[in-house]
Amino acid sequence: MRDPSEIRLMLEGYGLTTAEILYHMPDHPHLLQSYVWQDYDLAPKFPVLVKFVEFWKAKLDGPLHSIRYTHKKLISPGEWRNVRGEFVVH
């Protein structure tokens, strides 16, 4: 079962964002390394991803080559409803 804070984020409009980050290895700049990052974020501005990329540029040695990302809303407020009853068959 998901953490209750994850459900709250999904109900507030957050979706799961996955990014594949290609970067140049610090010791061998001609080689590319892949890093997969995943977190809940808000489309279309992606503030969590942007914050992570800014952290990467400021603190990590491997210069970025490219970032590919995908975003999927797992649940939205219109899709969730509270069930107050139950039908029993047999």
Residue 20's closest CA among 52, 47, 58? Answer: 52
Determine the pLDDT at residue 8. 86
pTM score = 0.77
Half-sphere exposure of residue 3: CA atoms within 13 angstroms, side-chain side: 4
Q: What is the tens place of the pLDDT at every residue in 8-52? A: 888 888 999 999 999 999 999 999 999 999 999 999 999 999 999
Hey, where are the domains in the chain? 4-72
d(Cα 43, Cα 27) in Å, to the nearest integer? 35
